[in-house]
Amino acid sequence: MTVNKLRALICIALSTTFLVACGQPANDGRLKVGYVVNFMSHEWYQNICRAAEMRAGELGVDIIIADANLDIAAQISKAENLIAQGVDVLVLTPVDAKALGPVVAEANRRGIHVLTESNPVEGSKSYIGIDNKASGKKAGLWYAEYALQHGMESKILIIGLPNFEDCRQRVDGFKEGLAESGLDYDIVQEVDGQGLKERALKVAQDALTAHPEVNVIFGINDDSTTGGMAAYRAAGLDETGLIAIGFGLEGTVGRTALLAGGSYRTALGMFPEFVGTSLVDAAVAIAAGQTLPAHYETPTLMITLENFEQFYRPEGDGYALRLDAVRALMP
Amino acid sequence: MARLAGAEQAGLGLVLFLLCAVLATLSPVFLTLGNITNILRDAALVAIAGIGMVAIILQGEIDLSVGSSQAIVGIVAVAVLNASSSIVVAFGVSLLLGALIGLLNGLLVTRAGINSLIATLGMMAILRGVAMVSTGAVSIQAKVPDFVNIGTGHLGPVPVPVLLAAVLFAAVYFVLHHTPFGRYVYAVGSNRDAAELAGLPVARIKVAVFMLGGVLAALSAFVLASRLNSGQPNAGLAFELQVIAAVVLGGVSLTGGVGTLVGALLGILILTVLNNGLVLLNVSSFYHDIARGCVIILAVFLDTRRRRSLDRSSNG
């Protein structure tokens, strides 16, 4: 055993003791974390919640998860319930960041640490999540490099979700990456696919009628991109010349499309399982008195067929994320 | 009465024509065969469910559950398809499920005496919830290669969904206008008490119409699932409003008894052409809702004015 490893072990042992001592609520000695997720019906949040529960089990933390189902009033009342139940750390994925100020202030008054996922809220200690703009930029740079290597003439269709700040940032980042790359490209149209495959298919179909020359599709999530691909196919355009870029790769849709080896060449991996794990890690750290950065950034990476197995291993019918591989991407 | 209906359709036809003329001038691809096919294919899905909605609204009732039924029926269709490897079995089960949903809606309204707005609002929430719970909110992929041809295939130059919508339109048109049952539907809608006094089995007629609506909504769900080659738990979000808006825009009165299938079809085409045109013209999606709202108000305004002047001339 090297000295470094030994030192690491001692650190972990010490911090665990410290944790148990510090984050100790009066009742049963276990750290109690409450999490109000904004929209449990989405696969992305299911993966986050599942991973958070698993991590909580590993660390001996009690976690209570409630779903706001996109209703801000429900989110506030569920957060209040968790405060009343005496959680030590309250985690929120804001339905509306601006409306959560009062409930966060109430939690702070009672000495409950507040963390948020995806978006910052005033009064919370830290927010955990990816950097959407930087991630979009990775997609832009990936494509630019590919296009320069293959001498592609780039006619790009963007399928966005402009109602959401996060999704706007992904598109902004994508454009920034393209602009910085020195590639000669043309964004022929941007449409609103509302993040749904059904809607993406319809609007992409109309956009492709106006611009059959499109040979690149960038979608702000996997359903947007695969909806665009379905429209491409339905329009009878030659798919062999198409490059489709996804964002998220959070579930079966994106993974199936990627592994099919067709025009879906790559997607930005957002690793929701790692985000879920990080929520619990951050809650444990803050309860132990550590200071977290204002933005606890979880890593993202362009996933292609080449590096897929480095990050995912087969499990049952599907795949499971190799959490250690993602952790290795942390700075 | 026939004159009145004819005049209404003329007004809607004019709106549709003007809309097409404007779009044709502004976009060089609007009148291409490919684009017209796209419009008709999109309109077909709304039309299939819309035909049933016309019959329901003619009764003075409403069905808000058609959007959620796009999700649950699509999911069941794909699950059965994957389990049985048979498109026919999946199709049969889907229609049965649709009929069952319609039957439940109908019984809630007639037997339990719950207002259809509330009964189907409840059904909408239940069906969406079941769709989410049964799939864990994850879409399921169809594993039978031929399945996708129903939604995306063609018979000659005509897309399959368009053909399907046309056949259904003709069939329901015939039923509404050339059979006793059709007359009963109008009779129950325009004056329920009179229909009851005349000895019509009002409750049974209503249940039958809800079942028709359920089956047709299931059919559009089946076609949608085929188009997406998957069962999507979030399919058909706000689809019911799209269908109702188009049907009402087509002059079918929410108070019941008044309206025609042809008018509803024009309403559906107007909204579909508008959606298509806004994307072709690369209009930011933030303006789409505004444009939709304006067209709905404008078309209904034109209609009301025409009807008023018609009333005046028949009275005077």
* Cβ atoms within 10 Å, residue B189: 26
| pLDDT tier, A324 (very low <50, low <70, confident <90, very high otherwise) | very high
Q: State the best of B234, B272, B276 to mutate against chain A, taking most chain A CBs within 10 Å.
A: B234
Quote the pLDDT of residue A41: 79
Q: What residues of A are in contact with residue B234 (Cβ under 8 Å)? A: 41, 196, 198
Using the CB atoms, write b or e for A146-173: b if 16+ within 10 Å: bbeeeebebbbbbbbbbeeebbbbbbbb
**Does pLDDT of A115 surpass 90?**
yes
Pairing of strands B154-155, B158-159: antiparallel
What proportion of chain B, given as a percentage, has pLDDT over 90?
65
Q: Report angle CA B140, A198, B259 to the nearest 5 degrees.
A: 120
Taking a C-beta distance cutoff of 8 angstroms, is the pair A312, A327 a contact? no
Residue B284 covered by a domain: no
Residues with Cβ < 8 Å from B91, sequence gap 6 or more?
B77, B222
| The CATH fold of domain A132-269 | Rossmann fold (3.40.50)
Inform me whether the C-beta atom of residue B162 falls under 8 Å from chain A C-beta atoms.
no
B-proximal residues of A, 133-192, CB under 8 Å: 162, 189, 191-192
* Cβ atoms within 10 Å, residue B33: 8
Distances (CA, A) of B232 to A64, A68, B50, B84: 28, 21, 21, 19
Measured in angstroms, the CA of B307 and the nearest CA of chain A are apart by: 35
| pLDDT tier, A331 (very low <50, low <70, confident <90, very high otherwise) | confident
| pLDDT tier, B53 (very low <50, low <70, confident <90, very high otherwise) | very high
Beta-bridge mates of residue B212:
none
B191: exposed, middle or buried (Cβ count in 10 Å: 0-12, 13-18, 19+): middle
What proportion of chain B, given as a percentage, has pLDDT over 70?
94
What are φ and ψ of residue B213, in 5° steps? -60, -40
Write out the residue range of the structural domain in which residue B193 sits.
38-236
Q: What residues of B are in contact with residue A251 (Cβ under 8 Å)? A: 138
Beta-bridge mates of residue A321:
A312
**Does pLDDT of A269 surpass 90?**
yes
Contact A192 B288 (CB under 8 A): yes
Quote the pLDDT of residue A4: 57
Contact A191 B276 (CB under 8 A): no
Residue B144 covered by a domain: yes
Distances (CA, A) of A57 to A12, A36, A53, A63, A283: 17, 18, 6, 9, 14
- Closest CA in chain A for residue B34: A209
Q: What residues of B are in contact with residue A230 (Cβ under 8 Å)? A: 227-229
End-to-end CA distance of chain B: 16
Q: What residues of A are in contact with residue B132 (Cβ under 8 Å)? A: 41
Quote the pLDDT of residue A304: 96
Q: Poorest-confidence range of A61-65, B254-258, B308-312? A: B308-312
Please say whether the dihedral angle defined by the alpha carbons of residues A229, A230, A232 and A238, taken in this order, is positive or negative: positive
A317: exposed, middle or buried (Cβ count in 10 Å: 0-12, 13-18, 19+): exposed
What proportion of chain A, given as a percentage, has pLDDT over 90?
76
Residues with Cβ < 8 Å from B254, sequence gap 6 or more?
B57, B60, B62, B248
Q: Poorest-confidence range of A3-17, A119-133, B248-262? A: A3-17
Inform me whether the C-beta atom of residue B84 falls under 8 Å from chain A C-beta atoms.
no
Q: What residues of A are in contact with residue B222 (Cβ under 8 Å)? A: none
Residue with more model confidence, B135 or B313? B135
Quote the pLDDT of residue B54: 96
Contact B137 A206 (CB under 8 A): no
Q: What is the mean pLDDT of residues B202-221?
A: 97
Q: How many domains does chain B have?
A: 1
Quote the pLDDT of residue A24: 41
**Average model confidence (pLDDT) across chain A:** 89
Q: What residues of A are in contact with residue B288 (Cβ under 8 Å)? A: 192
Residue B198 covered by a domain: yes
Inform me whether the C-beta atom of residue A209 falls under 8 Å from chain B C-beta atoms.
yes
**Does pLDDT of B106 surpass 90?**
yes
Q: State the best of A46, A197, A222, A253 to mutate against chain B, taking most chain B CBs within 10 Å.
A: A197
Contact A206 B276 (CB under 8 A): yes
**Average model confidence (pLDDT) across chain B:** 90
Interhelix angle B180-190/B160-178, nearest 10 degrees: 80
Q: What is the mean pLDDT of residues B210-224?
A: 97
Quote the pLDDT of residue A284: 96
Contact B279 A191 (CB under 8 A): yes
Quote the pLDDT of residue A316: 85
Q: What residues of A are in contact with residue B229 (Cβ under 8 Å)? A: 230
Q: What residues of B are in contact with residue A227 (Cβ under 8 Å)? A: 228
Beta-bridge mates of residue A313:
A320
Measured in angstroms, the CA of B284 and the nearest CA of chain A are apart by: 8
Quote the pLDDT of residue A5: 54
Rounding to the nearest 10 degrees, give the CA dihedral for residues A240, A241, A246, A251. Answer: 0
Q: What residues of B are in contact with residue A256 (Cβ under 8 Å)? A: 141
Quote the pLDDT of residue B170: 97
What is the spatial distance between Cα A257 and Cα A264, in angstroms, rounded to a whole number?
A: 6
- Closest CA in chain A for residue B27: A210
Residue B1 covered by a domain: no
Q: What is the mean pLDDT of residues A207-223?
A: 95
Distance of CA A6 to the CA centre of its chain: 34
Beta-bridge mates of residue A64:
A34
Residue with more model confidence, B297 or A89? A89
Two tokens, residue B203 = 């409750």
The class that CATH gives domain A3-129+272-298 is alpha beta
Measured in angstroms, the CA of A146 and the nearest CA of chain B are apart by: 27
What is the spatial distance between Cα B240 and Cα B24, in angstroms, rounded to a whole number?
A: 29
Taking a C-beta distance cutoff of 8 angstroms, is the pair A183, A211 a contact? no
Closest CA to A154 of A214, A210, A197, A83: A214
Contact A209 B38 (CB under 8 A): yes
Measured in angstroms, the CA of A82 and the nearest CA of chain B are apart by: 24
Taking a C-beta distance cutoff of 8 angstroms, is the pair A163, A198 a contact? no
Residue B4 covered by a domain: no
B-proximal residues of A, 12-71, CB under 8 Å: 40-43, 46
* Cβ atoms within 10 Å, residue B242: 22
Inform me whether the C-beta atom of residue A196 falls under 8 Å from chain B C-beta atoms.
yes
Indicate where chain A has its CATH 3.40.50.2300 domain(s): 3-129+272-298, 132-269
Q: What residues of B are in contact with residue A207 (Cβ under 8 Å)? A: 279-280
Quote the pLDDT of residue A323: 94
Residue range B62-95, pLDDT digits in tens: 999 999 999 999 999 999 999 999 999 999 999 9
Q: What residues of A are in contact with residue B224 (Cβ under 8 Å)? A: 198
Predicted ipTM beyond 0.85: no
Quote the pLDDT of residue A23: 40
Residue B7 covered by a domain: no
Taking a C-beta distance cutoff of 8 angstroms, is the pair A191, A158 a contact? yes
Residue range A7-65, pLDDT digits in tens: 554 444 444 444 443 444 445 689 999 999 998 878 889 899 999 999 999 999 999 99
Beta-bridge mates of residue A157:
A189, A217
Q: Poorest-confidence range of A141-145, A170-174, A188-192, B133-137? A: B133-137
* Cβ atoms within 10 Å, residue B178: 10
Quote the pLDDT of residue A18: 42
Inform me whether the C-beta atom of residue B306 falls under 8 Å from chain A C-beta atoms.
no
What proportion of chain A, given as a percentage, has pLDDT over 70?
92
Residue B192 covered by a domain: yes
Residue range B112-131, pLDDT digits in tens: 999 999 999 999 999 999 99
Taking a C-beta distance cutoff of 8 angstroms, is the pair A143, A216 a contact? yes
| pLDDT tier, B184 (very low <50, low <70, confident <90, very high otherwise) | very high
A43, A162, A202 ranked by CB distance to B286: nearest: A162
Measured in angstroms, the CA of B235 and the nearest CA of chain A are apart by: 7
Contact B137 A41 (CB under 8 A): yes
Residue with more model confidence, A164 or A201? A201
Question: Which DSSP state fits A14?
Answer: H
Residue B247 covered by a domain: no
Two tokens, residue B93 = 């089960």
Two tokens, residue A166 = 């996060």
| pLDDT tier, A160 (very low <50, low <70, confident <90, very high otherwise) | very high
Quote the pLDDT of residue B12: 87
